[in-house]
């Protein structure tokens, strides 16, 4: 019981702090989630992390809800709720305050400068997410090929992403990957 409430506390401050550094959204924080959940806290294996990423991508709702799955794996329903709120509430409060502030002094050029400065950082973070997830998911050259095909199709066409996830699931079920 004691270790359970300890791990809920850890979930809370880990994701609460992480959310403030999630520049560019939830997918940019995936390397940090992987580092904490797999390497530091040993909450889950590499394979389980790849699995929860897959589940979060094919479920409805914002991508950030991967933290709900991680939280559940650590401490059940309470863990799921604490992880989700910790990841979403601090930045929501920040967003509320900043939006209030900006409507009052809307002619400053700083928001535009900060925004432009953050773009390359969030692209670098997303790229790192891609690399880390590719290393955990693509265990064979066929798997890497599926990832490459999906990347090319998503980049070059307007295909609904759900079809690509479905195709990946079918190939996996057939035992190809």
Any contact of residue 117 with another protein (CB under 8 A)? yes
**DSSP single-letter state for residue 37:** I
User: How many Cβ atoms from other residues are within 10 Å of residue 36's Cβ?
Assistant: 19
For residues 7 and 108, is the Cβ–Cβ distance under 8 A?
Answer: no
Any contact of residue 39 with another protein (CB under 8 A)? yes
Any contact of residue 123 with another protein (CB under 8 A)? yes
Nearer to another protein, 5 or 45 (CB): 45
Residue in the structure block whose two tokens are 């940019």: 28
Cα gap 17→42, rounded to integer Å = 19
CB of 103 to another protein, least distance (A): 9
Nearer to another protein, 5 or 163 (CB): 163
Binding residue for another protein, selected from 7, 11, 14, 19, defined by CB under 8 A: 19
For residues 46 and 136, is the Cβ–Cβ distance under 8 A?
Answer: yes
Nearer to another protein, 8 or 65 (CB): 65
Q: What would the x/- binding string for another protein be over residues 49 to 88, using CB under 8 A?
A: -xxxxxxxxxxxxxxxx--xx--xx---x--xx--x--xx
Binding residue for another protein, selected from 5, 9, 35, 108, defined by CB under 8 A: 35
Binding residue for another protein, selected from 43, 82, 90, 107, defined by CB under 8 A: 90
Q: In sequence order, what DSSP letters do the residues of 91-109 get, joined into one string?
A: HHHHHHHHHHHHHHSTT-S
Nearer to another protein, 9 or 58 (CB): 58
Q: What would the x/- binding string for another protein be over residues 128 to 167, using CB under 8 A?
A: xxxxxxx-xxxx---xx-xxxxxxxxxx-----xx-xx-x
Q: Cβ neighbours of residue 53 under 8 Å, at least 6 residues apart? A: 30, 66, 133, 137
119: helix, strand or coil = helix
């Amino acid at each position: 019981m004691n270790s359970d409430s300890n791990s809920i506390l850890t979930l809370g401050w880990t994701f609460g702090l992480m959310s403030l550094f999630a520049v560019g959204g939830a997918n940019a924080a995936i390397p940090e989630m992987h580092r904490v959940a797999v390497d530091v806290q040993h909450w889950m294996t590499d394979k389980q992390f790849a699995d929860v990423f897959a589940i979060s991508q094919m479920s409805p709702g914002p991508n950030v809800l991967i933290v709900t799955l991680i939280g559940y794996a650590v401490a059940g329903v309470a863990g799921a709720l604490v992880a989700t709120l910790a990841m979403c509430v601090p930045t929501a409060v920040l967003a509320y305050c900043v939006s209030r502030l900006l409507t009052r002094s809307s002619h400053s050029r700083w928001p535009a400068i900060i925004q432009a400065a953050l773009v390359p950082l969030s692209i670098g973070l997303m790229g790192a997410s891609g690399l880390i997830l590719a290393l955990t998911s693509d265990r064979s050259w066929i798997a890497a090929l599926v990832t490459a095909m999906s990347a090319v199709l998503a980049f070059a066409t307007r295909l609904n992403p759900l079809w690509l996830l479905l195709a990946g699931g079918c190939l996996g079920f057939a035992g190809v990957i």
